[in-house]
Chain A
Amino acid sequence: MERRSRSFYILAAFFTLFVLFLYGPIVTIGILSFQSPQGGLTFPMNGFSLHWFRDLFQEQAVGDIWGAFRRSFALGLMVMVTTVIVSVMAGLAFRKRFWGSGLLFYAAITSLVIPSILISLGVGLIFNQLGFKIHWATSGFGAQLTWTLPFGLLIMFAVFNRFDKSFEEAARDQGATAWQTIRYVVLPIIAPSLIGVALFGFTLSYDEFARTLLTAGSYNTLPLEIFGMTTNVTTPVIYALGTLTTAFSFAIIAAFLLGVWIVGKRRARHGSDAGKGV
């Protein structure tokens, strides 16, 4: 094996520092969430306890963390499914030029780069002026889609850029209809990437704050609840929540990786070559 150059060690040190920088605050709140019942949001620590985690599972003076969590989870799933379906359809459409395709593409880019507060403000204003009720499942849902769909679309571009069209042509030559080609050839091949789109859609939604702020109505989603808690809660319970949400995110990623691994195993066993084209 070739000897590592000096620049490797410098870069490795840099990378380590970067990781420390990324994880520093998470570790800080991780530690602080074990404050004793008398402890505050800041150092020094007043001893260790699991008090705030227990507290999290009890009723809060203000707010409703678990309700918010359920809503965020439901909204995340709604956004996830919609994002996958809509971006796959759009991705397929964009493989050929169609009238207005350029315009739609730039609209999607705008949707990605527009300051989130504009969406929040605009959607909120429209609902108010039209007399509709804003609700996380309607206005909040729509506002979040403007954030997840461009990501989904860009991932689909990446997927179809690498997509080998000969599979499809082969299917068509065998007499498959357009729908059959998509259903039995295209979708299975791009399936692994769809998991990626889904995961992206879910987490972007689950963590989305600015676009939901003025569009969620009476019931807060989890990030809004956390934001509300920073204004109403003076105890480390918010850090306990942070630690738990981080753990939850880890669990989701782990489940996802496990899923990919299992699928990979099964495919290897069945000797299918679907997915290898990606």
Chain B
Amino acid sequence: MGWLQAAPLALILLAFLIAPIVMIVIVSFWGATEFSIFPAFQFDNYEFLFSSPVTYRVFGATLKYAFITWALTLAIGFTTAYFLAFHVRSLTMQIALFLVCTIPFWTSNIIRMISWIPFLGRNGIANQTLISWGVIDEPLEWLLYSDFSVILAFVHLYTLFMVVPIFNTMMRIDKSLLEAARDNGASGFQTLVHVIIPLTKPGIMIGTIFVFTLVMGDFITVRFMSGSQRANVGRLISNDIGLMQYPSAAATAVVLLCTVLIVIAILLRFVNIRKEL
């Protein structure tokens, strides 16, 4: 009975998850000409990948984006969820405000991303406003096509993935625990550090997993928001795909997958997803 019920899921994952991964691993050993790929068993793709200093720099940059985005989304996501869960009093209001946060998520990611460009540009709203207020004399160049704009877009797109799981775990914290802490003379800050944060850890972990994997796998945000001036691993892969260098794309993809899976495996040691939902 159990197997029968799980079979559809297993089959779909086998066909569209496991098989593609296997295929990518196989193709990563293949060779390529300018217009076709041919079966082979060679380490050329990996050799080139590991011998190029660009690879390390790009993986470094990708991890940097992931880390900074994680830290910012965690700070913002936690604060937002904390406000919603503990400071908003009625359930209706909580749900309403929560929906307000989630609605932008239903618009096309690409449109939400490119709409930052007119905002941040040299003659964009941000610069014009700052100039008219007399804060700056010259437009700020680093607002757009920089690491700043890339991270801004990431935070904008992915904070929600932090808010939702943290809010979810916070809502399940028994309010009497907080009262008990207060009755025992704990300050608000002490309650936060010693009661709320430990109890919210599963939500934080789930949010972390989402944000980390989304940023690691991204390949268009960096391109659009940096004006192609910066690169991350996803862009290396998509550039290769665009030029039909599938084997070298596959090799990069395999390394990326290993990186992501190792980090996720470490994170999963801290949380039992199945129990915490």
> Does A touch B (CB under 8 Å) in the complex?
yes
Write the residues of chain A forming the contact surface with B, with a CB cutoff of 8 angstroms: 5, 7-8, 11-12, 14-15, 18-19, 21-26, 28-29, 32, 41-44, 85-87, 89-90, 92-94, 96-101, 104-105, 107-119, 121-123, 125-126, 129, 142-143, 145-146, 149, 153-155, 157-158, 161, 178, 203, 207, 209-210, 214, 222-223, 226-227, 230, 238-239, 241-242, 245-246, 249-250, 252-253
- In the bound assembly, the distance between CA atoms of A203 and B103 in angstroms comes to 11
Contact residues on B (Cβ < 8 Å of other chain), bracket: 35 or more
Identify the stretch in B16-24, B45-53, B134-142, B173-181 within 8 Å (CB) of chain A at 4 or more residues.
B16-24
Nearest opposing residue in chain B for A23, CB measure: B104
A273 shortest CB reach to chain B, Å:
20
Residues of A within 8 A of B123 (CB): 42-44
Contact A114:B257 (CB < 8 A) given known A12-B87, A25-B112, A93-B2: yes
Q: Among residues 53 to 110 in chain B, which have CB atoms less than 8 Å away from a CB atom of chain A?
A: 76, 79-80, 82-84, 87, 97, 99-101, 103-104, 106-110
B104 pairs with A22, CB closer than 8 A: yes
Nearest opposing residue in chain B for A238, CB measure: B111
B260 pairs with A113, CB closer than 8 A: yes
Contact of A230 among B17, B114, B118, B257 (CB under 8 A): B114
B16 pairs with A146, CB closer than 8 A: yes
Residues of B within 8 A of A11 (CB): 79, 82-83, 87
A235 shortest CB reach to chain B, Å:
13
Q: Among residues 2 to 37 in chain B, which have CB atoms less than 8 Å away from a CB atom of chain A?
A: 2-6, 8-10, 12-13, 15-21, 23-24, 27
- 6 A-B pairs within 8 Å (CB atoms) are namely A104-B9, A115-B213, A121-B237, A122-B24, A125-B246, A245-B108
A85 pairs with B257, CB closer than 8 A: no
Nearest opposing residue in chain A for B13, CB measure: A107
- In the bound assembly, the distance between CA atoms of A96 and B2 in angstroms comes to 7
Residues of B within 8 A of A223 (CB): 108-110
How many contacting A-B pairs (Cβ < 8 A)?
A: 247
Contact A111:B257 (CB < 8 A) given known A121-B249, A242-B108, A249-B107: no
Nearest opposing residue in chain A for B152, CB measure: A21
A161 pairs with B277, CB closer than 8 A: yes
Residues of B within 8 A of A158 (CB): 277
B17 pairs with A125, CB closer than 8 A: no
Q: Does B171 contact A (CB under 8 A)?
A: no
Nearest opposing residue in chain B for A229, CB measure: B110
- In the bound assembly, the distance between CA atoms of A161 and B216 in angstroms comes to 31
- In the bound assembly, the distance between CA atoms of A100 and B9 in angstroms comes to 12
Contact of A22 among B20, B87, B156, B234 (CB under 8 A): B156
- In the bound assembly, the distance between CA atoms of A113 and B217 in angstroms comes to 9
B106 pairs with A14, CB closer than 8 A: no
Q: Does B250 contact A (CB under 8 A)?
A: yes
Nearest opposing residue in chain A for B126, CB measure: A24
A105 pairs with B16, CB closer than 8 A: no
Given contacts A25-B115, A111-B17, A123-B16, 20 further A-B pairs with CB under 8 A are A14-B83, A28-B115, A41-B118, A43-B123, A44-B123, A90-B6, A98-B2, A107-B13, A113-B264, A114-B21, A115-B253, A115-B257, A118-B20, A119-B17, A121-B24, A121-B250, A149-B13, A161-B277, A203-B106, A253-B106
